[in-house]
Amino acid sequence: MPQPEPWLRNTHTDLPAVLRAVVHALELARENIDDACAPLPDAALHARPANLAPIAFHLRHIVRSLDRLLTYAEGNQLSAAQLEALRSELDPVASTAAALLEEFHQGLDAALRRIRPFATADLDQPRAVGRRALPTTVGGLLVHCADHTQRHAGQVVTTAKFLASPHSGTP
């Protein structure tokens, strides 16, 4: 019998409900992505069926976006390194599936560590995003960490299912 989704496991009960939901969403994304990518050969993570973004892009984009969103939530601006990482997310890389998943796991672990200190934060505290200083709040950024990650995890799962299909014609 499969185990229940993270939000039904009674974990992270030390966190307030909103942060607990964010953490559970990131944990679910990890599990879904690991399951979807496990049967795929390295080449499949770089494939672009129907010119879709490759799985490799989504793996890098998820964790790099989390880094950027949490930087804003912490009240900071992006560094030159973060901006360069943003510009290179779609660049083709010669990484193995193991290396891509390692970057994904390390980035997710770092995001989970950075979320915990917000347990005592005022989630209504204003924040600004990007060069245009678009208005949001700490809570808005944290919730967006969850929904943005889930959106891209869904794209990984869908692309992986297509690539694993015998009718896909791709690796």
What are the structural domains of the chain? 13-163 (1.20.120.450)
Residue with tokens 């690991």: 34
pLDDT at residue 95, rounded to an integer = 80
**Exposure on the CB side of residue 168, measured as CA atoms within 13 A:** 19
Confidence (pTM): 0.93
Query: What are the tokens at 101?
Result: 């998943």
Query: What are the tokens at 121?
Result: 């934060």
pLDDT at residue 170, rounded to an integer = 57
> How high does pLDDT run on average in the chain?
93
Please provide the distance, in angstroms rounded to a whole number, between the alpha carbons at the two ends of the chain: 31
Contact 107, 65 (CB under 8 A): no
Shortest CA distance to 141 belongs to which of 110, 171, 115, 162?
115
pLDDT at residue 168, rounded to an integer = 55
Contact 100, 60 (CB under 8 A): yes
* Mean pLDDT, residues 97-116 taken together: 95
Distance, in Å, from the CA atom of 42 to the CA atom of 95, rounded to the nearest integer, reads: 8
* Mean pLDDT, residues 11-29 taken together: 97
Distance, in Å, from the CA atom of 47 to the CA atom of 146, rounded to the nearest integer, reads: 26
* SS3 of the chain: helix, strand, coil, percent, to 5: 65, 5, 30
Binned at pLDDT 50, 70 and 90, residue 167 comes out as: low
Q: What is the pLDDT of residues 41-91, one digit of tens each?
A: 999 999 999 899 999 999 999 999 999 999 999 999 999 999 998 888 877
Mean pLDDT is lowest, of 68-72, 82-86, 146-150, 165-169, for: 165-169
